Amino acid sequence: MTVTDTQVTWLTQDAFDRLKSELDQLIANRPVIAAEINARREEGDLKENGGYHAAREEQGQQEARIRQLQELLRTAQVGTAPTSTDVASPGTVLTVRYDDDDTEKVLLGSREEGSHGDLQVISPNSPLGAALLGAKVGETREYSLPDGGTMKVTLAGVEPFTG
């Protein structure tokens, strides 16, 4: 992946700090997992050592999360919500209207962002987020549903996220 292929992830300062703290804790925990693996290795036959395999599995999951967080934080755009109020972009609150005239406000951002009260966070990589990304107010887009169908959605409004 080149620098031009990297997608910027919009995060609030709180979410960035929370994820950075999680990353620091995971990195600090590496010696604990390594010691656990060594202790289990000394118990004997590795083919039948469930504790050893569980510790190795945990280490693999931890290392994958470390890599995920490092990449996410490396590409994060922190705290600066876009000021444009006519185009859907990460860091904006979107008012969307569905086919049945129901409307909903959502924050277009990273799932790592977490929740903000009643405001649902949708990823720009999700089907709905990808359909809305770059849409102008009043524009109707179509996106795929999990059951294979499609749904039309209209961007009714865009506002900067204020936290």
CATH number at residue 59: 1.10.287.180
Co-location of 71 and 111 in the same domain: no
Task: Judge whether 99 lies within some domain.
Answer: yes
Q: Do 58 and 17 fall within a single domain?
A: yes
Residues 24, 67 within the same domain: yes
**For residues 124 and 106, is the Cβ–Cβ distance under 8 A?**
no
- Write out pLDDT tens, residues 4-24: 445 667 777 777 888 899 899
Domain encompassing residue 10: 3-78
| Across 7-21, 28-42, 107-121, 144-158, least confident range | 107-121
Tell me the average pLDDT across 141-146. Answer: 90
* pTM of the predicted model over 0.85: no
Question: Among the three residues 14, 44, 78, which one is the final residue of a domain in this structure?
Answer: 78
74 residue type, one letter: R
Share of the chain above pLDDT 70, in %: 83
The b/e string for 100-132 (b: 16+ C-beta within 10 A; e otherwise) is eeeeeebbbbbebbeebeeeebbbbeebbbebb
3-state SS, residue 131 = helix
How many domains, the chain?
Answer: 2
CATH number for 138: 3.10.50.30
Kindly state the average pLDDT of the residues 84-111.
83
Q: Which of 24-28, 86-90, 108-112, 155-159 has the least mean pLDDT? A: 108-112
| Lowest-pLDDT choice from 59-68, 73-82, 119-128 | 73-82
Last residue of a domain, one of 78, 107, 125: 78
> What backbone phi and psi angles, to 5 degrees, belong to 13?
-65, -40
pLDDT of residue 71: 85
pLDDT band at 84 (very low <50, low <70, confident <90, very high): low
Q: Determine, yes or no, domain membership for 86.
A: no
**Any idea which of 3-12, 77-86, 122-131, 147-156 has the lowest mean pLDDT?**
3-12
Q: Are 104 and 153 in contact (CB under 8 A)?
A: no
More confident residue, 91 or 35: 35
Shared domain for 59 and 109, answered yes or no, is no
Mean pLDDT, range 128-155, rounded to an integer: 90
Report if residue 118 sits inside a domain.
yes
The reply to whether 73 and 108 lie within a common domain is: no
Same domain, yes or no: 11 and 57: yes
Give domain status of residue 43, yes or no: yes
Say if 83 falls within a structural domain. Answer: no
**Model confidence band, residue 2 (pLDDT cutoffs 50, 70, 90):** very low
In angstroms, what is the C-alpha Rg of the chain? 21
